[in-house]
Structure 1
Amino acid sequence: MTDQFLVAGIDFGTTYSGWSYSFKHEFDLNPTNVATKHWHGEQLVSSKAPTCVLIEPDGKTFSAFGNDAETKYSQLAGNPAICQKWYFFRRFKMKLYNKTIKREMEIEDETGKKVKATTVFAVAICYLKNDFLSIINDRISGVINPAEIVWVLTVPAIWDDGAKQFMREAAVEAGIPAEKLTIALEPESASIYCRNLQLERSGGEHTLSTLKSGTKFLVVDAGGGTVDITVQEITTNGAMKNIYKASGGDWGGTKVDDAYIKFLADVVGNETLLEYKRTHMEDYLYLISDFEVKKRAVNLLQSNITVTLRISVTLSELVQKIKGKTLEDLLKESQHSSEVSLSRDKLKFEIGFFVTFFKPQIDSIIDHVSGIVEQQNVSEIEAIVLVGGFSKCLLLQQAFKSKFKSFKIIVPNDGDLAVLKGAVIFGHKPELISQRVSRYTYGVESLFPFIENVHKESYKVICEDGKPGCEHLFDKHITSGQYLDVGEAQVKQVYTPSTSWQTYMPFPVYCTLDQNPMYTTDDGCHYAGTLTVPFEGSGLDREVDVRMIYGGTEIEVEATEVATGKVHRIKVDFLS
């Protein structure tokens, strides 16, 4: 990528989202000098805004984002008949995790009403884009040429190709030019930022900036929805290469919120909580927001404190109406009567019980990281870097320091902004990541000559030239765990049409964790998308030279017609 005048990053998070930027001259002086916006809410001032979108009753028209969306929806909630016609989405990013993504898929809002998913994501990205442009134009009006802006959109490293493509298409729908858009992987962005931090901003006695070439370290990007984990090594030129495939799971901070909501549902009943959400959305949002503030502010390592959360009187009234009992009575009847009490409008938790909301997620993260560091091919890790919003949790930090005593534990002061700021650095200098590791074995479904006593007889077909072929064969391109040098083609193959009249050939792309699949029908093989290779002219002797680059954040394909030299830059369609 050539030098750009301005790089803008968008960190589209599960819980919070924001934008960041730096000019080329600022980057040259100090790569970490990345500007962000301060968003103001009723209870928090943050460098990110809540990932909330309000859409008008037509299901298409954008109304508000972030704190504004929460406030406006809360006001609408005063009139349930009107409010139920609007669409309110929050924390909807996880709708793309571990799912089969299609272009026309719909997602549900907070009350179960459905809207096309690309509409929701696109209007959110569009708002962040326009908000950035309005502020930057106020700063230097008339100077910015849109062609000089590179946009970087972050996604979890553990997302599959369909989810990445979905985010790209949503960003293009939001008005970001496709040729100016770069997809960045969240833990990579975080490590790039931390690599440039000096000691005083690295949160302790260790920093990545002083580590020598050859040093291996592990990055744990603990966000609101997912926890992304990568293992990297510092190269001789100061760049970083991944040495283990990205992994992780849905163990982020929102699971802590879910545990709190489950506790309430256990006490008052699911039907009561759903009715409360439907009829008193403003109070319900405040309940969640108050918990969010407390889970950040309370020192969870103290043993003799009580955590107090406010409960609106409307919940007590609804409980009395539906259950015929007071909320206080239900708490006394619950299994948590000795650990939780009610005093007027305040729920009071013993700290020992309050931390149980966090424990399952923290245990899952620690167990997963333990499994990685025990792998032989990632031995000699010296440091573990904790970033992301959930990394601010003292319980999580303490768990890492206790479990991994022989490692340098690095928790940057602004680790919750590491992805947001690192995305901008990546946009200026993407070559800072020189190698990635494939999570899957990729290949295409192909037809090859049939081999007796090797291929399945049931897959035998007769081709146009009269010779027997075998269908459903897995033509492997790369293997799970394979090192992928960024920018280099991992696959160079020549394809010919199977019929004389073909003008294009669609190759179904498959992926699997199996390193040596034979057929695309093998257990564990999944259809991922379609690669369409063009053929001009006619006849069976037309050849197309296909180069596939798997080492980028997105798969790149270049197809050259051998006879004419015509080059096609094509994409694998993972959303078909």
Structure 2
Amino acid sequence: MAYDDTRVVVGIDFGTTYSGFAYANRANPEIITNDTWPEHIGVLKTNTVLQYDEDFLQIDAWGSPALAKRQRKKDRTSNPPKPIELFKLHLGDIPEEKKPILPPSLSYKKAISDYLREMGKLIKETVTTRWPGVNFMTQAKIIITVPAEFSEKSKSIMRECTYNAGLINELHTDRLQFTTEPEAAAIYCMRTLSEHFDNPVGTSFLIVDCGGGTVDLTRRKVVSTNKLGETTERTGGFCGGAYVDQEFIKFLATKVGANAIELLRKKHYNQFQYMIQEFCRHVKLLFNGEKSSFRTYDFDLEDVCPAIKQYVSDSLKDKLEDIDWSIELNYKDVKEMFDPVVNKIITLIKDQLNSTSDKCSAMFLVGGFSESKYLQTRVKQEFKNRVPNISVPKQPIAAIVRGAVDYGLNTKIIKSRVLKYTYGTKTSPLWQPGDPKERKGKDGRIYKFYTLAEKGKHIDVDEEVSHSFTVARPEQKSMDMDIYVSRDKSAKYCDEPGVELLGNFSVHMPDTHLGLNRSVLYTLRFGEMEIRATAKNKQNDEEYHTTFKLEFD
């Protein structure tokens, strides 16, 4: 689809715990964040949750309505189907034991596709109602944000799921593009720099995107008016707001026993989840770290999750009955639930600030967990002497999705990126003393990884890197050009762990009469959302091209 065909840009923030979307018309690019959801109006995101029927064939509810509700007394003997949540974690590079267990008949790809399909119905209805003349399937560009640590495979799966959801009608269409969550957040935050600086050009700032599952950090610099460059490689970790909920569960386990918690989770998941919701509403969202304003909260287990009583051991049951199954959450308890998570975020920020000698003039906290007053206070206390301006922009929970739309309206806003991978190709030089003996081939050659662009390198959008390669044998009639990626800066061989083949193509080399005096100029061009590989036969100027839709940032 030609760029000029685009009339509407839609940004989708598909999150671990919450998701949202925003949109704008190119003719009048006011960015609108959706705040109307099934059974819920006035909030900028809804829960990334699905409720299926018993056979997992039909979706009964999605978003907030799919969450567990307080069970009425007459229904407390029943056990309704378990809501499906956190399925996005299956795309992340995390240990298998930390990924949510899904029913045997439900794959994570189906869950993602089904959720995007339901959200897609709402997006299409919202956009075409506002602009009746828009043909969504041919005139809407979709920008989906992904975590910085997502692999190329994960983004390919997201594309596949988006196609299966009916949001695009061609798998490899340019109507769907990706940008990273921290990049989208940076674009959003750049718009607010004018509130702190008379002339933002040259300003370096740090974005700390605190979501439900992950925290992503990136350093950006305003290199010219409305142009952003990246100054350090993106970093992140699994220490978002949902991990405070996990600390709450650990605390409860000390009161009722770990076995009781596990049985409640397995057999009465709806009550287990509703218990977490009650904690968030009455404790987590209100905690600001000030001891003087804290009010001890009585958590009534018998009322919130009555099923747990049957799983508590006799020794603990007596104690709990003495206090009417009401557990106190005091200031110390709650602070100890927050501190392990907040401390990890502070460590990530320190590492980012220490990764370069450049002065950081501003820090923006965005994402849902950034609204935590306690997190804000701790970050400001820790870094107030290193970063002059630390703030939370307006609508921080919508920063990513609004930045995604901004990016879709003007992809040229990103001037440079820091490569997340090392890019290279396979070469076959003669084996030399010192090379591994077991790698010496029968022809006396050794196959090695040749670096074309190193991880951590600053690359301008549309920048090219090139190298000339000579044929290895006089009779050679073609040259195979590969492109490999590695997370290691110093990959040596193409078959070592962590090196992945992205693709290859062959260059015709017919002039065998020239013997070894034949070469190919191999060029990688790092575009906005793809890498283009070109191989030019330097003897006859024939060019061969291939494109890798990597969304490499």
Do the structures match in fold with TM over 0.5?
A: yes
* Distance of aligned partners of 1:34 and 1:494 in 2 relative to their CA distance in 1, 3 Å threshold: farther
Residues 389 and 416 of structure 1 are in contact (CA less than 8 Å); yes or no, is this contact kept in structure 2? yes
Structure 1 regions of 5+ residues with no counterpart?
200-205, 333-341
What CA deviation, in whole Å up to 9, does each residue of 1:11-30 have, x standing for no partner?
01111001110111332xx5
> In the TM superposition, what is the alpha-carbon distance from 1:150 to its structure 2 partner?
0.5
> In the TM superposition, what is the alpha-carbon distance from 1:419 to its structure 2 partner?
0.4
- Counterpart-to-counterpart distance in 1, 2:262 and 2:476: 59
- Counterpart-to-counterpart distance in 1, 2:179 and 2:212: 18
Residues 223 and 390 of structure 1 are in contact (CA less than 8 Å); yes or no, is this contact kept in structure 2? yes
TM-score by structure 1 length? Answer: 0.81
- Counterpart-to-counterpart distance in 2, 1:556 and 1:127: 32
Which residue matches 2:504? 532
* Distance of aligned partners of 1:349 and 1:329 in 2 relative to their CA distance in 1, 3 Å threshold: same
> In the TM superposition, what is the alpha-carbon distance from 1:41 to its structure 2 partner?
5.9
**Which range moved further: 156-165 or 525-534?**
525-534
* Distance of aligned partners of 1:573 and 1:235 in 2 relative to their CA distance in 1, 3 Å threshold: closer
- Counterpart-to-counterpart distance in 2, 1:57 and 1:538: 64
Across the aligned residues of Structure 1 and Structure 2, the Cα RMSD in angstroms comes to 3.8
Residues 424 and 453 of structure 2 are in contact (CA less than 8 Å); yes or no, is this contact kept in structure 1? yes
Among residues 453, 456, 464, which one is paired with 1:489 in the alignment? 464
- Counterpart-to-counterpart distance in 1, 2:277 and 2:457: 43
> In the TM superposition, what is the alpha-carbon distance from 1:95 to its structure 2 partner?
2.3
1:311 alignment partner AA:
L
- Counterpart-to-counterpart distance in 1, 2:469 and 2:118: 44
Residues 365 and 393 of structure 2 are in contact (CA less than 8 Å); yes or no, is this contact kept in structure 1? yes
1:485 alignment partner AA:
D
The aligned runs of 1:320-331 (5 Å cut-off) are 320=310, 322-324=312-314, 327=317, 329=319
> In the TM superposition, what is the alpha-carbon distance from 1:53 to its structure 2 partner?
2.0
Among residues 37, 40, 51, which one is paired with 1:39 in the alignment? 37
Residue 410 (structure 2) pairs with residue 429 (structure 1): yes
* Distance of aligned partners of 1:138 and 1:310 in 2 relative to their CA distance in 1, 3 Å threshold: farther
> In the TM superposition, what is the alpha-carbon distance from 1:221 to its structure 2 partner?
0.5
Which residue matches 1:2? 3
What CA deviation, in whole Å up to 9, does each residue of 1:393-440 have, x standing for no partner?
111111111111132102113111100111100110111111111233
- Counterpart-to-counterpart distance in 1, 2:452 and 2:296: 57
Which residue matches 2:343? 363
* Distance of aligned partners of 1:59 and 1:46 in 2 relative to their CA distance in 1, 3 Å threshold: same
TM-score by structure 2 length? Answer: 0.84
> In the TM superposition, what is the alpha-carbon distance from 1:273 to its structure 2 partner?
1.9
Which residue matches 1:548? 524
* Distance of aligned partners of 1:267 and 1:558 in 2 relative to their CA distance in 1, 3 Å threshold: same
Which residue matches 1:22? 24
What CA deviation, in whole Å up to 9, does each residue of 1:358-410 have, x standing for no partner?
111111111221122223x3421111111011111111111111111132102
Which residue matches 2:381? 402
Residues 530 and 572 of structure 1 are in contact (CA less than 8 Å); yes or no, is this contact kept in structure 2? no
Residues 484 and 494 of structure 2 are in contact (CA less than 8 Å); yes or no, is this contact kept in structure 1? no
The aligned runs of 1:553-564 (5 Å cut-off) are 555-559=530-534, 562=537
What CA deviation, in whole Å up to 9, does each residue of 1:471-524 have, x standing for no partner?
2x12112212210111223356669799999999584724133x33333466xx
SS at match of 1:152: strand
Residues 9 and 151 of structure 1 are in contact (CA less than 8 Å); yes or no, is this contact kept in structure 2? yes
1:548 alignment partner AA:
L
% identity of equivalent residues: 24
What CA deviation, in whole Å up to 9, does each residue of 1:108-165 have, x standing for no partner?
546x546332212122122212211012223333443532111000011132322222
The aligned runs of 1:371-390 (5 Å cut-off) are 371-375=351-355, 377-390=356-369
**Which range moved further: 176-185 or 420-429?**
176-185
Which residue matches 1:452? 432
Among residues 78, 92, 95, which one is paired with 1:97 in the alignment? 92
- Counterpart-to-counterpart distance in 1, 2:428 and 2:308: 67
* Distance of aligned partners of 1:367 and 1:276 in 2 relative to their CA distance in 1, 3 Å threshold: same
Residues 478 and 508 of structure 2 are in contact (CA less than 8 Å); yes or no, is this contact kept in structure 1? yes
Among residues 559, 562, 568, which one is paired with 2:546 in the alignment? 568
Residues 217 and 352 of structure 2 are in contact (CA less than 8 Å); yes or no, is this contact kept in structure 1? no
Residues 441 and 479 of structure 1 are in contact (CA less than 8 Å); yes or no, is this contact kept in structure 2? yes
> In the TM superposition, what is the alpha-carbon distance from 1:195 to its structure 2 partner?
1.8
What CA deviation, in whole Å up to 9, does each residue of 1:78-117 have, x standing for no partner?
6999856xx742122222222499xxxx97546x546332
* Distance of aligned partners of 1:224 and 1:543 in 2 relative to their CA distance in 1, 3 Å threshold: farther
Residue 142 (structure 2) pairs with residue 168 (structure 1): no
1:262 alignment partner AA:
K
Which residue matches 2:259? 271
- Counterpart-to-counterpart distance in 2, 1:117 and 1:543: 47
- Counterpart-to-counterpart distance in 2, 1:358 and 1:267: 18
Which residue matches 2:286? 297
* Distance of aligned partners of 1:166 and 1:213 in 2 relative to their CA distance in 1, 3 Å threshold: same
Residues 287 and 310 of structure 1 are in contact (CA less than 8 Å); yes or no, is this contact kept in structure 2? no
Aligned length: 533
1:568 alignment partner AA:
T
Residues 222 and 252 of structure 1 are in contact (CA less than 8 Å); yes or no, is this contact kept in structure 2? yes
Residue 397 (structure 2) pairs with residue 416 (structure 1): yes
Which residue matches 1:223? 211
- Counterpart-to-counterpart distance in 2, 1:488 and 1:227: 29
* Distance of aligned partners of 1:531 and 1:72 in 2 relative to their CA distance in 1, 3 Å threshold: farther
Residues 320 and 326 of structure 2 are in contact (CA less than 8 Å); yes or no, is this contact kept in structure 1? no
2:285 alignment partner AA:
R
Residue 132 (structure 2) pairs with residue 132 (structure 1): no
SS at match of 2:486: strand
SS at match of 2:297: strand
Residues 69 and 270 of structure 2 are in contact (CA less than 8 Å); yes or no, is this contact kept in structure 1? no
**Which range moved further: 270-279 or 127-136?**
270-279
> In the TM superposition, what is the alpha-carbon distance from 1:67 to its structure 2 partner?
1.9
2:362 alignment partner AA:
A
Among residues 154, 174, 181, which one is paired with 2:176 in the alignment? 181
1:300 alignment partner AA:
G
2:429 alignment partner AA:
P
Which residue matches 2:451? 476
SS at match of 2:502: strand
SS at match of 2:27: helix
SS at match of 1:449: coil
- Counterpart-to-counterpart distance in 2, 1:486 and 1:159: 20
- Counterpart-to-counterpart distance in 1, 2:437 and 2:83: 55
* Distance of aligned partners of 1:492 and 1:537 in 2 relative to their CA distance in 1, 3 Å threshold: closer
